[in-house]
């Protein structure tokens, strides 16, 4: 989708294992593999993405 403006994740490795995320559409977040920029992408509601990333930031329990 040309309306998404993707940025590479700051947590992506330098060996091509990269995820790109677009947050420029107010209600939607798009995620794609940077090695396949013309391929499929995942879209989720912004509120769902925020909950997902907030959970990732929580300390992991043993």
The model's pLDDT over 7-50, given as tens digits with 9 standing for 90+, comes to 987 766 666 678 899 999 999 999 998 888 888 999 999 999 99
> What residues contact 45, with CB distance under 8 A and at least 6 apart?
27, 28, 29
- Assigned domain for 12 exists: yes
pTM: 0.78
What pLDDT is attached to residue 51?
Answer: 96
Residue at 14 is within a domain? yes
Residue 43 covered by a domain? yes
Question: Domain range holding 43?
Answer: 6-54
**pLDDT at position 29, please?**
96
Count how many Cα atoms sit within 13 Å of the Cα of residue 45 in the half-sphere of its side chain. 3
Residue 60 lies in a domain: no
How many domains are there within the chain? 1
Question: Is there a domain that residue 61 lies in?
Answer: no
48 in helix, strand or coil?
helix
Whole-angstrom distance, CA of residue 32 vs CA of residue 45? 15
Q: What is the DSSP letter of 3?
A: T
């Amino acid at each position: 989708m040309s309306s998404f403006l993707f940025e590479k994740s700051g947590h992506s490795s330098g060996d091509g294992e990269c995820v790109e995320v677009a947050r420029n559409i107010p209600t939607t977040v798009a995620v794609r593999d940077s090695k396949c920029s013309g391929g499929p992408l995942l879209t989720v509601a912004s509120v769902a993405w925020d909950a997902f990333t907030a959970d990732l930031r929580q300390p992991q329990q043993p």
